[in-house]
Structure 1
C-alpha cells in the first residue's frame, strides 16, 4: 500500500463517520460534508490503487 491508498481510506472512514453523525443529529450540512469527504477519500484511494497497478506492471 502506498500513502495515497492509506490517506484515502482514512478520509473515507472520516467521511462516513461525519455522514452518520449528520443523520443522527439531523444536520444536513454535516451529512453533506461527510459525503464530500468520503468521496474525496475514494478518489484518493483510487489514485493510489492506480499508482500501485502502474508500479506493478513496470
Structure 2
C-alpha cells in the first residue's frame, strides 16, 4: 500500500469523525470541514491506487524486457 493510500484512509476517517461530531453538536462548520477532509482523503487514496497500477504496469514491462515473462 502506498503512502498516499494510507494517508487517504486516515484523512477519510478524520473527515467522517468531524462530520459525525458536527452532526451531533449541530456545528455545520465542523460538519462541512469533515466533508472536505473526507473528499480529500478519498482523492488521495485514488491517487495512490493509480500510482500502484502504474508501478505494476512498469514492473510488468520491465520483466518482459528482461525475459521474465
- TM-score above 0.5: yes
TM-score normalised by length of structure 2: 0.82
Q: How many residues align?
A: 58
Which runs of structure 1 show a deviation greater than 3 angstroms over 4 or more consecutive aligned residues? Answer: none
Unaligned runs of 5+ in 2: 59-69
Unaligned runs of 5+ in 1: none
Query: Higher relative CO (CA 8 A, sep ≥ 6), structure 1 or 2?
Result: 1
Instruction: Point out the structure with max Rg over C-alpha.
Output: 2
Tell me the C-alpha RMSD between the 2 structures.
Answer: 0.4
TM-score normalised by length of structure 1: 0.98
